[in-house]
Amino acid sequence: MGLLLAAALASLQGCATTGGGTKPGLHAADAEISDPLEPMNRKVFDFNMGLYDHVIEPVAKGYEQVTPMFVRTRVANFFANAGYPYIILNDFLQLRVHQGLSDVSRFVGNTLFGVGGLFDFANRFDLPPHENNLGVTLGVWGVPQGPYLVLPFFGPSSLRSLPGIPAAILASPFYYVSSTPAQWSITTLGVVNEGYTERGAVRMVKEAVFPYYFARSAWLQHQEYLIRGRALSSRELMEQLGPEQPEAPPASEKPAAH
């Protein structure tokens, strides 16, 4: 693990200094994106979409048909709750103590009083769910993003976020289940649940005008948002308008339908 982290961080620093893969001439928001592996990423992206179409989605639809909503919600709650040790670890690594304490309360409450996380007990006590991961922690610590990556099965990522995959596995309670059949069963149900709960997001990507760029932009923006502590300054809002703010056409040029 240490070696993996060290290797990833070293590569990341290298990429940050070269800044390869950016595309001059595109809009400012896009020009800052480092995607030197775009040809390969796009192939993996297509593979993932194909996998979703031909395997994950049919299985998720079958799951939806054979299980009542009550069961699907309990399963989704259970897996979401099991992900909290990883989220809490990252909360405190980022020194976001208030969020960390809220997430500890949420995890303990749901585990003890929500029957192992099957019921979202914490929701009644204004303890909202949060997102967090090691890529965000490294970003908070100042580690550059590095090149954008699309991973088989996992989807959008970056060099900085790569160590988050083994970290999430090690922080998961399921990793410490000793029975191999039980581990396989949990993993299989987890994949089915993921396919079911994320189908709306995947549908949005699939239906986009340019799915690859849509997914890349959304993922990168959301990571930055989490790194900033879910905040956006006025300066950032204005920067999103780009360096050029061309004049809109005069009213007379507006379409009649307006």
Query: Does the footprint of other proteins cover residue 217 (CB under 8 A)?
Result: yes
Total residues binding other proteins (CB under 8 A) = 57
Which H or E run contains 148? strand 148-151
Q: Number of C-alpha atoms within 13 angstroms, CB side, residue 252?
A: 0
Q: How far is the CB of 2 from other proteins (least distance, A)?
A: 31
Q: Number of C-alpha atoms within 13 angstroms, CB side, residue 49?
A: 15
Q: Identify residues 127-166 at the interface with other proteins (CB under 8 A).
A: 127-129
Query: Does the footprint of other proteins cover residue 248 (CB under 8 A)?
Result: yes
Burial 41-64 (b: 16+ CB within 10 A, else e): bbebbeebbeebeeebbeebeebe
Q: At what angle do helices 180-197 and 57-66 cross, to 10 degrees?
A: 100
Options 1, 98, 179, 247; binder of other proteins; rule CB under 8 A? 247
Options 2, 142, 181, 255; binder of other proteins; rule CB under 8 A? 255
* Helix, coil or strand: residue 104: helix
Query: Does the footprint of other proteins cover residue 71 (CB under 8 A)?
Result: no
- Facing residues of 157 across strands? 149
- Facing residues of 156 across strands? 150
Find all residues with CB under 8 Å of 87, minimum gap 6, and list them. Answer: 103, 130, 131, 132, 133
Query: Does the footprint of other proteins cover residue 201 (CB under 8 A)?
Result: yes
Query: Does the footprint of other proteins cover residue 91 (CB under 8 A)?
Result: no
Nearer to other proteins, 67 or 197 (CB): 197
Options 3, 10, 95, 257; binder of other proteins; rule CB under 8 A? 257
Burial of 213 (0-12, 13-18, 19+ CB in 10 A): middle
Cβ atoms within 10 A of the Cβ of 158, count?
25
Part of the chain binding other proteins (CB under 8 A), chosen from 11-19, 159-167, 172-180, 219-227? 219-227
Q: How far is the CB of 130 from other proteins (least distance, A)?
A: 9
Query: Does the footprint of other proteins cover residue 234 (CB under 8 A)?
Result: yes
Query: Does the footprint of other proteins cover residue 254 (CB under 8 A)?
Result: yes
Options 93, 174, 189, 228; binder of other proteins; rule CB under 8 A? 228
- For other proteins, the binding residues (CB under 8 A) are 26-30, 120, 122-123, 126-129, 197-201, 204-205, 207-210, 213-214, 216-218, 221-222, 224-226, 228-234, 237-238, 240-242, 244-249, 251, 253-255, 257-258
